[in-house]
Amino acid sequence: MKCQLARYISSLLGLIVYCFQACLCISEAPELKTFFIHGAGGTPAVWRLQTAHFKDSVAVELPGHPAGSGFTSIEEYARAVSDRIGQQEWRKTIIVGHSMGGAIAIELALDNEELRGLVLVGTGGRLRVRPEFISKLRENYAEAAKLIASLSVSPRADPIILDRLADDLLKVSPQVTLGDFLACDKFDRMNDLEKVTCRTLVVCGEDDKMTPEKYSRYLHEKIRDSKLEIIPGAGHSVMVEKHRPFNQAIERFVASL
């Protein structure tokens, strides 16, 4: 009888210790929050299929997108996003940036070593813009919007996606979109990518014409703790064109943090 009672007490104490340790683990696990940053001439609406999927995520509205004035440097946009994130702890923060938003995300990662996770989508360490592209933005914004939209999707994309992207671009003023592309043209962090220390996921559409696959492979090579995902059948707007595999890639990444 005494032996049975001793075994019972021992088991009970073991259960109490286990539950106590489990509670400690739960309290220490940070609650992660994801912020999505759109690209040049875009709006937060481009992330509608992500914010609907990821609980408590935020699609950041950059200044001037669509209302007000924008900036002409990535650094200024990065400061604006940092202000938007506010009191959220960087160790509990995941930044997802697309195209110009990816450049902004790189700036934030370089300035905040505690950033928990970084997702770079259709972007690069340098984002040079062809002079004729800048000229088209200055001369005929409606035509430039159509051109940007056509280069932002795979040839296999649903035409509805192309039309929606062009319509979204027209919601942003020509001056702001031009400033965005000038900011991209000046951006160059090629020699600083090795300083990014946080866990990073690099995502690219297989048919990306704006920031070809080689840009993403370079990011993956230079950022030490990074993983590369190439999504078939998608172009530059991979998060819209192939939102399910895109969201699944982010889910796997977040689960690994």
Question: What pLDDT score was predicted for residue 97?
Answer: 98
Lowest mean pLDDT, pick from 15-19, 90-94, 173-177, 224-228: 15-19
Backbone angles phi, psi at 141, to 5 degrees: -65, -40
Tokens standing for residue 218: 């370079």
Task: Give 134-137 contacts, CB < 8 A, sequence gap 24+.
Answer: 134/178, 134/181, 134/182, 134/185, 137/174, 137/177, 137/178, 137/181
Q: Alpha carbon 83 to chain centroid distance? A: 17
pLDDT higher than 80, residue 190: yes
Mean pLDDT for the chain overall: 89
pLDDT higher than 60, residue 31: yes
- pLDDT category of residue 88 using cuts at 50, 70 and 90: confident
What are the CA-CA distances from residue 257 to residues 83, 97, 158, 171, 226 (Å)? 24, 18, 34, 36, 12
Look at the block and give the residue holding tokens 């704006």: 210
pTM equals: 0.87
Rounded Cα gap, residues 240 and 235, in angstroms: 9
Identity of the amino acid at 40? A
User: What letter does residue 191 receive in the DSSP assignment?
Assistant: T
Rounded Cα gap, residues 177 and 172, in angstroms: 7
Residue 99: left (phi > 0), alpha (psi -120 to 50), or beta? left
| Cis? peptide before 66, omega within 30° of 0 | yes
Question: What pLDDT score was predicted for residue 8?
Answer: 35
Look at the block and give the residue holding tokens 């969201």: 247
Nearby residues of 45 by Cβ (< 8 Å), 6 or more positions away: 59, 168
**What are the tens digits of pLDDT across the range 212-228?**
999 999 999 999 999 99
What are the CA-CA distances from residue 75 to residues 40, 81, 138, 164, 197 (Å)? 14, 10, 23, 29, 19
**What are the tens digits of pLDDT across the range 152-182?**
999 999 999 999 999 999 999 999 999 999 9
**What are the tens digits of pLDDT across the range 37-80?**
999 999 999 999 999 999 999 999 999 999 999 999 999 999 99
pLDDT higher than 60, residue 211: yes
Lowest mean pLDDT, pick from 12-21, 83-92, 115-124, 191-200: 12-21
User: What letter does residue 153 receive in the DSSP assignment?
Assistant: S
Rounded Cα gap, residues 38 and 241, in angstroms: 15
User: What letter does residue 90 receive in the DSSP assignment?
Assistant: G
pLDDT higher than 80, residue 10: no
pLDDT higher than 70, residue 5: no
Going through 43-92 in order, the beta strands assigned E by DSSP cover: 58-60
